[in-house]
Amino acid sequence: MQWVLDPVGYMHAHHRRYGDIFQTGLSWGSSNAFVMVSDPKAVQYLLTHDTGSEFSAPGEVNERLAPFFGRQNLMLLSGADHQRRRPLIMPAFHGDRLHVYGQLIHKICSTAIAQWPLHQPLNVRSLMADITQEIILQVVFGPHQGERYAQLAQLIRIILERTSAPSAAAIILFPWLQNDFGPWSPGHRLLQVIAKIDKLVFAEIQERRANPDPERTDILSLLMMAQDEDGKGLSDQALRDELLTLLVAGHDTTATTLTWAMYWIYSLPHVQQHLLKALETISDATNPAEYLKLPYLTAVCNETLRIYPATISTFLRRVEVPLELCGYLLEPGLWVTGCIYLIHQRKDLYPQPDQFKPERFLEKPFSPYEFMPFGGGVRRCVGAALAQYELKIILGTILTQVRLVLLNKHPVYPGRRAVNLGPQKTIRVQRIA
């Protein structure tokens, strides 16, 4: 119950008692007692040996997410199937595509800001979710208009809101609640929303199959053209599962991180001042590439991802052969996760870890296993580069275009948001100029 209601308290208490490696009594999918590791060297070992010989990264362990995302997507695929799918998705998030997304992010953000009213309390999470959702919809489906997209956006928001409150998170953590126990059961209502989403997504796929357009560069078009070595393309079901995964994974974590960033920037005047000064050095505020070059803005984004990472830990890896980790013998079949939150709270790496200090990232470099908001190894987040683009460009655009004040009078701490972490209280701002 503590893990469900107070995951941060749970992790600190166990770390204090047992140190950098401990076995939890927590179950997730086929694992009923996984091990949490927060020693960077051990996590480096875990994530550089997770291709199958020492550790594996089976997707079936994420079975609890199947009612939402289906089984034919990156998060639930395993082994060779997973290896074949990643190269189909990765190009959509790298190289020239990111440059195009930079323009898109700036445009969507500026359009949203123009509608923020003056002198009224504004819910930061809703503002950020509106922006990140529109971005991921356009990245996945391309430029779009019309009723189908408006409905899709609304339904995805309903799913996220229904599963994000600590009590509602129970629906993911206790999978039997996903069953349909009648019209008023949470499982019934969730399944209804998913059925509506499926209808819209399958209609879009059918329409595109009927009218193929080789000029399109959105993810759905790229996935529809992709073929494996045998010349076989993805089925409608696989396309739907992958799209839904990207739509949800691709905006909730980013919206949470942006919400925290806004909280820190507007609660710490020296951080805000420093950022505004850095932004003054930009020659063209309409060119998103300029925001990416500001070291202090990057440091603020990194510190936001460090102090309260949206994702508590990596996906589970399974031990395949007897091996030693942090002085303990691990038997085959045991499940292990790298605990991102606890690594980021280490006092030896980050003195005063509960303090927001972007300077840390300007003073010394951290290894990919000391600072690892996007995990690592064979399942490292495919959207990491896009997410970092979004953070910098959205924050830079907001700070350049409007003046805001934070309305929260008390400190805000992290709490459970579905399987992730997010602010425990609603963060509100008011636009003053």
Which amino acid does the sequence have at 90? Answer: M
- DSSP code for 375: -
Residue from 58, 288, 383, 414 touching ligand HEM (CB under 6 A): that is: 383
Taking CB under 6 A as the rule, does residue 37 contact ligand HEM?
Answer: no
Residue from 315, 335, 350, 361 touching ligand HEM (CB under 6 A): that is: 315
Q: By the 8 A CB rule, do 76 and 69 touch?
A: yes
- To ligand HEM, the closest distance from the beta carbon of 317 in angstroms equals 8
CA-wise closest residue to 298 among 183, 396, 418: 396
Residues 384-413 that bind ligand HEM (CB under 6 A): 386-387
Alpha carbons 127 and 242: distance in angstroms, whole number:
26
Residue from 7, 58, 186, 377 touching ligand HEM (CB under 6 A): that is: 377
**Which segments within 88-175 are labelled E, that is strand?**
121-123
- DSSP code for 178: G
- To ligand HEM, the closest distance from the beta carbon of 139 in angstroms equals 7
Taking CB under 6 A as the rule, does residue 250 contact ligand HEM?
Answer: yes
Stretch touching ligand HEM by CB under 6 A, among 118-126, 308-316, 350-358, 398-406: 308-316
Considering CB under 6 A, how many residues would be counted as binding ligand HEM?
A: 28
Tokens of 294: 């500001």
Residue from 196, 380, 428, 431 touching ligand HEM (CB under 6 A): that is: 380
Q: 186 or 251: whose CB is closer to ligand HEM? A: 251
Q: 46 or 404: whose CB is closer to ligand HEM? A: 46
Q: CA dist 216 to 93, 134, 143, Å?
A: 15, 18, 10
In this structure, the chain runs to a length of 433
Taking CB under 6 A as the rule, does residue 75 contact ligand HEM?
Answer: yes
Alpha-carbon torsion 130, 132, 138, 140, what sign?
negative
- The helix/strand/coil state of 421 is strand
Q: Which residues bind ligand HEM (CB under 6 A)?
A: 74-75, 86, 136, 245-246, 249-250, 253-254, 257, 309-311, 314-315, 373-377, 379-383, 386-387
